[in-house]
Amino acid sequence: MKSDESKCVNCQRCVSLCPTRALKIVKSDCILRENCNWQNDTIREVYKQANSGGVLLSSMGNPKPMPVYWDKMLINASQVTNPPIDPLREPMETKVFLGKKPERIERDKSGNLINNLPAQIELTMPVMFSAMSYGSISYNAHASLARAAEELGIIYNTGEGGLHEDFYKFGKNTIVQVASGRFGVYENYLNAGAAIEIKMGQGAKPGIGGHLPGEKIVGDISRTRMIPEGSDAISPAPHHDIYSIEDLRQLVFSLKEATRYKKPIIVKVAAVHNIAAIASGIARSGADIIAIDGFRGGTGAAPTRIRDNVGIPIELALASVDKRLRDEGIRNNVSLVAGGSIRSAADVVKAIALGADACYIATAALLALGCHLCRTCQSGKCNWGIATQKPELIKRLNPDIGSRRLVNLMTAWKHEIKEIMGGMGINSIEALKGNRLMLRGVGLNEKELEILGISHAGE
């Protein structure tokens, strides 16, 4: 048996399947001469570009050693003055409703409360699977996400590739996305889901559109995207009908009209420098939910330089948006969803305590489906049947297994969230939302603490 190290992407498929654990993938010691400034990868990228003359492409989230603020925040627990609550003995609630909350109650003539809540998304736990299009991931990956979302009572997101006809039946667990390419968008699609998401940006590539090459637009994908076979699917960087906030407002209300005000509208934006001001504008645009995607969020393909250098961490973006909306008294106009590398139940708890209503996860969901984070999605040859459209690879992902593993993962996280909440003496997730006293920073400077709105450990 021979192997060609130049082709190995370290997907670990061979390692995982070998019944005798006889294989391991090791780092080649054939590297360029060590140099702290000109590192191996940097030099290789120069060679690559010198060969090709092209923009470098990458996939999944930013791998650079940037600060991960989740890991610099610690969670509180009760001792003596108030009791921790045992989730095995007492109810521990994780249900959330996402959507706008009216300013005032209303009563009918006989004094009964009128339900004046606009449409809401109901989730059994504050986690949703975030947008991954059919095209960027496989039919079986979508089937796994949809089935798991239904079983869990949460939501998955179509991404911008339209909704495959087989998945309309999962409508109440689906967010349908309207992105700049408007692929697959028509009346039934808009009405098929539990909510509609306008994708303004993505954490992995803020300010950048998307491009699915024509050779991938075949069969079901062409039908679902509603574009001819073989034509390139180009998502422009901006929505060409949204050049300003008032245009966004028009699209929000167009979508609401099209769905008779029965669907909450989510506006998804990448975390960029003036995210607080952007969010404030969106909160006044009629949107019901703002989804913020941090710079470590994943992608099926993004220009390397954009992915690694544009945008800001979700922790800081979330904290400043939540604060700004509260300062302006409009936090109740919208729910906040945080995404962009939420890796564990602890990250979820920290995000909620910073002020999120719920979290979006995608990379973690793909890991559950088998992804080993080899970061070569852009090749379309995903060995795990996820980020590929090759039939022989797609079939490697059996949705029976995929959906079960997703359900397992979310069930495990839910247990952990309950344990952590119980430790804090909190028995309902809404009492954790924005509860920043439950967080302390370690190794953060004054400015970082100020932006996060938390004290340092020991204070």
Contacts of 437 (CB under 8 A, 6+ apart): 76
> How far apart are alpha carbons 196 and 130 in whole angstroms?
13
Indicate whether 20 belongs to the interface with another protein (CB under 8 A): yes
Cβ neighbours, 10 Å, residue 356: 29
Tokens of 57: 């492409």
Site for another protein in 334-373 (CB under 8 A): 355
CA 426 to chain centre: 26
Q: How far is the CB of 19 from another protein (least distance, A)?
A: 6
- Which CB, 187 or 459, lies closer to another protein? 459
Instruction: Give the tokens for residue 225.
Output: 């995207």
User: Which listed residue (54, 228, 329, 458) binds another protein by CB under 8 A?
Assistant: 329
Q: Which is nearer to another protein, 215 or 400 (CB)?
A: 400
CA 350/CA 362 separation, integer angstroms: 18
71 binds another protein (CB under 8 A): no
* Binding of another protein by 82 (CB under 8 A): yes
Chosen residue from 238, 246, 395, 443 binding another protein by CB under 8 A: 395
Q: How far is the CB of 285 from another protein (least distance, A)?
A: 19
Contact flag: residue 101 with another protein (CB under 8 A)? yes
When asked if residue 151 is in the footprint of another protein (CB under 8 A), the reply is no
Say how far apart CA 174 and CA 189 lie, in whole Å: 11
Segment interacting with another protein (CB under 8 A) among 94-102, 163-171, 269-277, 312-320: 94-102
Cβ proximity to another protein: between 217 and 421 the closer is 421
Q: Does 88 bind another protein (CB under 8 A)?
A: no
User: By the 8 A CB rule, do 181 and 235 touch?
Assistant: yes
Give me the 398-417 binding string for another protein, x by CB under 8 A, dash otherwise: x-xx----------------
Footprint on residues 105-144 left by another protein (CB under 8 A): 105, 112-113, 115, 117, 120
The nearest distance, CB 246 to another protein, in angstroms, is 25
Q: Is 432 in the site for another protein (CB under 8 A)?
A: yes
Q: Which of 19, 54, 65, 228: binder of another protein (CB under 8 A)?
A: 19
The verdict on 265 binding another protein (CB under 8 A) reads: no
Residue 147 near another protein by CB under 8 A: no
Q: Evaluate whether 245 touches 281 at the Cβ level (below 8 Å).
A: yes
The verdict on 65 binding another protein (CB under 8 A) reads no
Interaction of residue 396 with another protein, rule CB under 8 A: yes
Q: Which is nearer to another protein, 44 or 262 (CB)?
A: 262
Taking CB under 8 A as the rule, does residue 431 contact another protein?
A: yes
Please tell me the distance from the alpha carbon of residue 338 to that of residue 348, in angstroms, as a whole number: 9
Q: Residue 95 interacts with another protein (CB under 8 A)?
A: yes
Residues that bind another protein (CB under 8 A): 16-17, 19-20, 22, 78, 81-83, 85, 90-91, 93, 95-97, 101-102, 104-105, 112-113, 115, 117, 120, 326, 329, 331-332, 355, 392, 395-396, 398, 400-401, 424-428, 430-438
